[in-house]
Chains A and B, each alone.
Chain A
Amino acid sequence: MSKTTAREDLVRGVWRENPVLVQMLGLCPALAVTNTVENSLVMAAATTFVLLCSSLLVSLVRRIVPGQVRITTYILIIATFVTVADIGLEALLPDVHKALGAFVALIVVNCIILGRQEAFASRNGVWRSLLDAAGTSVGFLIAMLLMGSVREILGSGTFLGHAVFGKNFEPWVVMVLPPGGFFTIGLLLLALAWWERRKAARLAAPAAGAPASETRELVGGAR
């Protein structure tokens, strides 16, 4: 059914269609639990687990599920795996589980996961769906790491608990508080938009004078 190659399925979600930074999905966890790198990593790992398992199961049962109840079925499948992740996390990493609080349970309503089931896993085979889920998970991890690193380094002066700056660094406490989350994602999006615009301008500028470089850029862009 899908006309894309396996490699494309894997790579697409990582950056070009990054779930958080480009598609603006799953913003709640990306803002709420990224005050330290450790929390971000655990959250990304839990989401990866849920996404991979649900994609696997949804693509397996995709021919059995009637169209009218498919969303309900996907939600139930996702909720089951989130429960597993929640209980597992509580047993393995009780401290982090406490810090994440209700947000582990809220993975159920993370639109990234339901979005991938509806857009991809319900229409493609098991192998492709797993690749797609893996790519999207990596994209989510990148976004979480970006947010978590910026906020922890500036907000507490540490990275994964290790001091980054000297003793004289005064932490920007606001970065680990809620406003810091909004500011960080706003500035990240701003930087991305600026970068995209610059790339577009560079593509457009030599188009008149040097067709050779334009074709090279186009080949690069179509990759």
Chain B
Amino acid sequence: MAELAIIFVSALLISNFTLAMFLGLCPFLGVSKQIPTALRMGAADIFVLTLTSVCAWALNTYVLPHAPYLRLITFIIVIASLVQIVEMVIKKLSPTLFRELGIYLPLITTNCAVLGLAMFQTNRGYGLIEGLVFAVGAGLGLTLALVMMASLRETLDLADVPKVAQGTALVFLVAGCLSLAFMGFAGLLSAG
């Protein structure tokens, strides 16, 4: 149990996917303008990450021991088809949710956080439960970073920023400060 808690906290805060490992930066820059869209993107992320974790575990356990060199190719195909299937299912079951998620669902295929999750899970040898906890922690961490960034950017819109710094450069500098704050969580585990 304690181990699972460590995996969760470490994925959520200490090695936050966006702020400490630079995974999923594209949505972090692209859809962090408003809090509602950031929340929706985060929800889609958590969903796909959890499914990917289960798939990656199943592949690692039943298929890939015979051909480990095919891991990358298998993972990317499975992730791409998974997102496609999820999209179709959601469209069929809940058109409202489908409209809400919009473009963000297909975009997740090219989100390096998803492939990164599968690779990290493999490299660290997580089992099914550990993988699930890791995926949920990582997804929540992504959502946390997205929402924090969105709330900062909503405020920044009202600020008087020099013209030269407007746009991506400013977002990166703000992200640096956030990342700096998250570095503080590194002491969490050794202290506890």
- A positions within 8 Å CB-CB of B: 24, 27-28, 31-32, 72, 75-76, 79-80, 82-83, 86-87, 101-102, 105-106, 108-111, 114, 174, 177-183, 185-187, 189-190, 193-194, 197
Contacts and interface: CB of A to CB of B under 8 A. Distances in A.
A57 to B, nearest CB: 15
Interface string B68-79: 011111001100
B189 interface: no
B12 to A, nearest CB: 15
A91 to B, nearest CB: 12
3 tightest A-B CB contacts, nearest first = A182-B176, A186-B172, A189-B169
User: Chain B interface residue count: which class?
Assistant: 35 or more
A193 B111 contact: no
B25 A31 contact: yes
Contacts, number: 111
A189 B23 CA distance: 20
Contacts of B72: 79, 82-83, 86, 105, 108
Contacts of B112: 28, 106, 109-110
B110 A181 contact: no
Nearest to A195: B164
B19 A178 contact: yes
B115 A179 contact: no
Interface in B41-90: 69-73, 76-77, 80
Nearest to A181: B22
A27 B26 contact: yes
A196 to B, nearest CB: 9
A185 B174 CA distance: 12
Contacts of B119: 102, 105-106
A137 B170 CA distance: 27
A181 B22 CA distance: 9
Given A106-B119, A179-B179, A32 B21 contact: yes
A187 B170 CA distance: 9
B180 interface: yes
A93 B170 CA distance: 37
Most chain B CB neighbours (cut-off 10 Å) among A87, A185, A187 = A185
Contacts of B183: 177-179
B94 interface: no
Contacts of B171: 186
A147 to B, nearest CB: 12
Given A79-B72, A190-B164, A111 B26 contact: yes
B177 to A, nearest CB: 8
